[in-house]
Amino acid sequence: MAKKVKVYALSTCGWCRKTVEWLKKNEIKAEIVYTDKIEDPAEKEKVTAEAKAKAGKLTFPTVVVCDANDECVITGYDPAAMEEKLLK
């Protein structure tokens, strides 16, 4: 099973932009959720709670990498951790 990547991000955050650029450069498909752009308050709260539950706190970017057996969460722009989880 291919790894599924979801990024909780903010459209105004510099480290989020770097994370998205890193994923693009490495041709990794990812679902990018720009939390600040969600207009519906209930949806925003749901997504925020989801991101917080994954990382243990609300922080951007939060990158969630899933495969069949494992789920890994990377917080902040961490190219070394993304390389380890996504390119090896």
Smallest gap from residue 69 Cβ to another protein (A): 27
Site for another protein in 38-67 (CB under 8 A): 48, 57-60
Residue 12 near residue 30, CB atoms below 8 Å: no
- H or E element: which one contains 74? strand 71-75
Q: Is 75 in the site for another protein (CB under 8 A)?
A: yes
If one asks whether residue 77 binds another protein (CB under 8 A), the answer comes out as yes
Distance between CA 33 and CA 72 in Å, rounded? Answer: 17
The residues of the shown chain that bind another protein, judged by CB under 8 A, are 10-17, 35-36, 48, 57-60, 75-78
